[in-house]
Chain A
Amino acid sequence: DGGITQSPKYLFRKEGQNVTLSCEQNLNHDAMYWYRQDPGQGLRLIYYSQIVNDFQKGDIAEGYSVSREKKESFPLTVTSAQKNPTAFYLCASSTSGHPYNEQFFGPGTRLTVL
Chain B
Amino acid sequence: AQTVTQSQPEMSVQEAETVTLSCTYDTSESDYYLFWYKQPPSRQMILVIRQEAYKQQNATENRFSVNFQKAAKSFSLKISDSQLGDAAMYFCAYRSADGSSNTGKLIFGQGTTLQVKP
Contacts and interface: CB of A to CB of B under 8 A. Distances in A.
A99 B43 contact: no
Contacts of B47: 102-103
B96 interface: yes
B50 A43 contact: no
Counting chain A CB atoms within 10 Å of each CB, the highest count among B42, B43, B102, B109 belongs to B43
A66 interface: no
A53 B45 CA distance: 27
Nearest to B91: A42
Interface residues of A, number: 27
Classify chain B: how many residues form its interface, as a range: 20 to 34
Contacts, number: 62
Interface in A67-110: 88, 90, 92, 94, 96, 99-103, 105-108
Given A40-B110, A41-B110, A105 B105 contact: no
A99 B111 CA distance: 21
B108 A33 contact: no
